[in-house]
Structure 1
Amino acid sequence: MMEPVAATAALYGAETAAEGAVAAYFLTKPTLPLKGRLEHVESSVPLPRSSHSLTVIGDRAYVFGGEIEPREPVSNDVEVLIIGRNNAKAESITAKPVDGSEGVPAARVGHTASGARNRMFVFGGRGGAEMTALEENGRLWVFDPKEEGWLYLDPPPGTEYPCPRSYHASSASDDGNVIFIHAGCASDGSRLVDTWAFYLEEGKWARFPDAPGPARGGPALTYGQDMLWRFGGFDGKTELGGQLDYLEVPSTSNATASEWISLPFDFSETEASTTSSIPAPRSLAALHFVATGQGRDYLILALGEGDPSKIGHAGAGKFFQDIWIYQLPAASGYSGAGIKDMIKEKLPGLTGSTKGQWAQLDLTGVEVGAGEKQGGKWTGRGWFASDSTGTKQFLVWGGIDEGNERLGDGWIVVID
């Protein structure tokens, strides 16, 4: 049997043992855990809230909706954060329609917003005197930052659309052509398990197969490698976890979507998430797709609620402060990552690929502004909002801590 250095040299076509040794070093270098850092961001104007949305477009983050006091939605203005280093200048845009359009979205909580085509697409949420899911007949509200105003997209008459809901999840395809909606809480208090896609070119909704497992509110959802990825949620009794679910997305609304596929993993309830090799069940977490180059892709799972309050979002539960990395299979077998995984699986004496494994993010530094309210501590939180600010980073804003305080700060999580 060939030794790893010799075998590596043979596979790479290396002419010398030294070249083979260098190649073997890079092959044996683990891809998990990744290193990362946290950068604290303060607003020039206090902006505490929870159950809001956050959409990053360019160097600006758009905060919409939410609440400071339970069951009291803030205004329907859009708050703009111009993101700098350790700070963000805050501006407010009064709600108004774009010329030629009518109406603006009502104030709301528990909605979602996704960025696509340099616009913000808002769906669902609770509002009104009864604080129930808003009946808008499948409407997508569209905020145009250039016009600083609102448009809307209604599905064609006679077509199907998602029922009213709140505390659902949404995402957008990386080409900006599709907005996805999943699960949440219906008007009658029941929880949902359905998945919908609004194809912007076609202007209508398409329903995908229902996701596996219990109906739920507060799941985490993201898009990557032409797939939707889901983790966690709350089914009304317990926090959900123990598996990742994914769905391959068809290119048009007329194409038939395949069924969801589950990737289960074991978690012992006696293990704390900080010592386990996998993340604990949770809801209200951040889930983002990250590409680090050479075909290596990951999912990043952060924060979330592990034990809900008995009074729902009116009170604080137990929140996690951990950040987890899940290594996805290489999208292409011919990428650097794909070739490396193939060789590691075949060569004797080398550890296998870490694809399909979880690891906690190895934090190498925390940058904190002078006025950090929490004393520079990265704290657990839920009911926050987050969005990607680049291919290897995302922004978290607001939420509730375990002291039941609405937070008005943000953190940028950077993957090195």
Structure 2
Amino acid sequence: MAEVAAGALVAEQVVATGVEAAALVAVATPTHPLKVSLTQLAAPSVDGTSQTQSLARSHHTITTIRDKAYIFGGEGPDGNLCSSDVHIIHLPAQAPTSTTKPKHAVQEPFPLEDARTGELLLPEPRTQHAACARGKHIIIHGGLDASGNPIEEDNCLWLYDTSSLQWSKLPSVTQLGKAMPSRYGHSLFYDAAQDFLVLHGGHTTRYIKEHPPSFSILSDPHLPTETETWMYDFPSHSWTALPRAPSAPLSVAYVDTTLVTIAAGDKLSGTIHHLRLLPNATEREKPGALKWRTVTYPTNPLTPGPRPRSDAVLVPLATGHGRYYLVYMLGRDDDGAYCSDMWTLQLPSHGLTAASAKDKIRDAVMHGSGAWSWAGVELVPTEQMVPDGKVHPGPRARVAADACLGGKGVVLWGGENAKGEREGDGWVVGLAYGYADRDRWE
């Protein structure tokens, strides 16, 4: 009742004050849907080699650090593992408005020798690994080798220094009494404010490439998905187990200290699990502080929402003022069909931000803040400057993606199309300004 009274008082003050009338309009303005643009990054080439040969791949990773994106690993057009080269893509400084041909460089492996062990510091080629950025370093963990086996490296971390262009290696141990199997198909995130890694999900058994005709993408009995969550502490080089998720993840993201997973539901619903890791270790160590929570959402014509899917893109998008969304697109549904639709999920706001203030008022005096609600995006067309330029990547799965444009965009690269072919183009998903979005108070 106190929150309702406080919300009503704030609303009354806003109405009574002419100077703040615009704020009332802003509070009443819905946060959904977002207007976004999709722009294709034209095909670069390296030493006369077409992009189809040099950058077409799936099951790879793309990691952004400032205005560069670093592509590593995966499977090429012939299905074989790509080399340990690091491909560097120079991204546009702002959301492109036409087909942009990015600069492209390749950093071939240059292994150093560990002075203590004599080991050559270079990660072997791999696919279905996990990656994230920590400062100027790209962190690589796990994956499959050429034989389809999880790579056994004692869960070490490979670090690629984007300044010196050299690899190094961090060892790891697990907490007493806990075992962390080697894995692939998992997710890895870095919390810059608290300097730790979060790992979630993945598979720990041998990968089976040939599936039976009855194979279901979302409930594959041959490749059980782990529900484990682990935290890596850099000072101690150790992995600590966190609470397991209630069910296996299909897609995973980390934003605003919260781990979010999309899991399978039934034909008319999907499931969101979320675990808030809190702002500091003291809060996390309190009994019962770390607890998974679940939100079920409908997926029917009356209340639209995306059908759960595997091999999809799930990346945070920030609109400013403390407002975060998750972009959910592409992938494969339970029938094995490739998807091309694009959705955004509004996340709850935290802290002393404009978005949090707006949400508290809307929760108190309106129909809710919109947290955990889905909406299809409004695509704003952009001019394509080349005759064969696309306006949409089309149905696709196993695409590498990461945030870009200071968190206000998403960069996509490669993937597998509906014909099973590896693609080699890049895309930028950016907020489309110049419309009502610019005036929205989030």
TM over 0.5: yes
Cα 1:298–1:405 shift into 2, 3 Å = same
Take 1:261 and 1:153, find their aligned partners in 2: how far apart are those partners? Answer: 33
Take 1:205 and 1:240, find their aligned partners in 2: how far apart are those partners? Answer: 38
SS in 2 for 1:68: coil
Identity over aligned pairs, percent? 28
User: In the alignment, is residue 220 of structure 1 matched against residue 236 of structure 2?
Assistant: no
Cα 1:70–1:131 shift into 2, 3 Å = farther
SS in 2 for 1:403: coil
SS in 1 for 2:391: coil
SS in 1 for 2:57: coil
| Alignment counterpart, residue 67 of structure 2, candidates 29, 39, 59 | 59
- Would you say the 8 A contact 1:193–1:211 is kept in 2? yes
> What is aligned with 1:108?
126
Take 1:13 and 1:307, find their aligned partners in 2: how far apart are those partners? Answer: 49
> What is aligned with 2:199?
181
> What is aligned with 1:378?
393
Q: Which runs of 5+ in 1 are unaligned?
A: 1-5, 309-316
Range moving further from structure 2, 56-65 or 243-252: 243-252
Take 1:265 and 1:303, find their aligned partners in 2: how far apart are those partners? Answer: 19
Q: What is the CA deviation profile of residues 107-162 of structure 1, one whole-angstrom value per residue up to 9, with x for unaligned ones?
A: 1111111111221111111113x221111111111111111111111114886563
Tell me the number of residue pairs that the alignment of Structure 1 and Structure 2 aligns.
385
Take 2:234 and 2:158, find their aligned partners in 1: how far apart are those partners? Answer: 13
SS in 2 for 1:184: coil
> What is aligned with 1:246?
274
Structure with the higher strand share, 1 or 2: 1
Structure 1 position 367, deviation (Å): 4.5
- Would you say the 8 A contact 1:239–1:283 is kept in 2? no
* One-letter identity of the residue aligned with 1:77: D
Q: Alpha carbon RMSD of aligned pairs, Å? A: 2.9
* One-letter identity of the residue aligned with 2:241: R
TM-score by length of 2: 0.79
> What is aligned with 2:377?
361
> What is aligned with 2:28?
28
Structure 1 position 9, deviation (Å): 6.5
- Would you say the 8 A contact 1:307–1:319 is kept in 2? no
| Alignment counterpart, residue 10 of structure 1, candidates 6, 9, 12 | 12
Structure 1 position 331, deviation (Å): 0.8
Cα 1:176–1:121 shift into 2, 3 Å = farther
Take 1:111 and 1:80, find their aligned partners in 2: how far apart are those partners? Answer: 18
Q: What is the CA deviation profile of residues 360-388 of structure 1, one whole-angstrom value per residue up to 9, with x for unaligned ones?
A: 11111234351656x43331211110011
* One-letter identity of the residue aligned with 2:257: D
Q: What is the CA deviation profile of residues 304-332 of structure 1, one whole-angstrom value per residue up to 9, with x for unaligned ones?
A: 11146xxxxxxxx4221222111122213
Structure 1 position 197, deviation (Å): 1.6
- Would you say the 8 A contact 2:409–2:429 is kept in 1? yes
> What is aligned with 1:266?
298
> What is aligned with 1:312?
none
> What is aligned with 1:38?
38
TM-score by length of 1: 0.84
Take 1:152 and 1:383, find their aligned partners in 2: how far apart are those partners? Answer: 27
Cα 1:190–1:412 shift into 2, 3 Å = same
Range moving further from structure 2, 30-39 or 150-159: 150-159
> What is aligned with 1:151?
168
* One-letter identity of the residue aligned with 2:111: P
> What is aligned with 1:305?
332
> What is aligned with 1:83?
91
> What is aligned with 2:341?
322
Take 1:87 and 1:149, find their aligned partners in 2: how far apart are those partners? Answer: 27
User: In the alignment, is residue 283 of structure 1 matched against residue 310 of structure 2?
Assistant: yes
Cα 1:170–1:69 shift into 2, 3 Å = same
SS in 2 for 1:165: coil
Take 1:318 and 1:369, find their aligned partners in 2: how far apart are those partners? Answer: 31
* One-letter identity of the residue aligned with 1:380: P
* One-letter identity of the residue aligned with 1:246: H
Cα 1:380–1:239 shift into 2, 3 Å = farther
Take 1:191 and 1:341, find their aligned partners in 2: how far apart are those partners? Answer: 35
- Summarize the alignment of residues 119-134 of structure 1 with structure 2, pairs less than 5 Å apart: 119-128=137-146, 130-134=147-151
> What is aligned with 1:93?
107
- Would you say the 8 A contact 2:11–2:361 is kept in 1? no
* One-letter identity of the residue aligned with 1:199: D
| Alignment counterpart, residue 207 of structure 1, candidates 202, 216, 241 | 241
Structure 1 position 233, deviation (Å): 6.9
Take 1:198 and 1:37, find their aligned partners in 2: how far apart are those partners? Answer: 36
User: In the alignment, is residue 337 of structure 1 matched against residue 355 of structure 2?
Assistant: yes
Cα 1:132–1:302 shift into 2, 3 Å = same
Structure 1 position 289, deviation (Å): 2.1
* One-letter identity of the residue aligned with 2:39: E
SS in 1 for 2:430: strand
* One-letter identity of the residue aligned with 1:143: Y
Take 1:142 and 1:162, find their aligned partners in 2: how far apart are those partners? Answer: 20
* One-letter identity of the residue aligned with 1:262: T
User: In the alignment, is residue 229 of structure 1 matched against residue 260 of structure 2?
Assistant: yes
SS in 2 for 1:365: coil
- Would you say the 8 A contact 2:411–2:427 is kept in 1? yes
Cα 1:103–1:381 shift into 2, 3 Å = same
Cα 1:412–1:241 shift into 2, 3 Å = farther
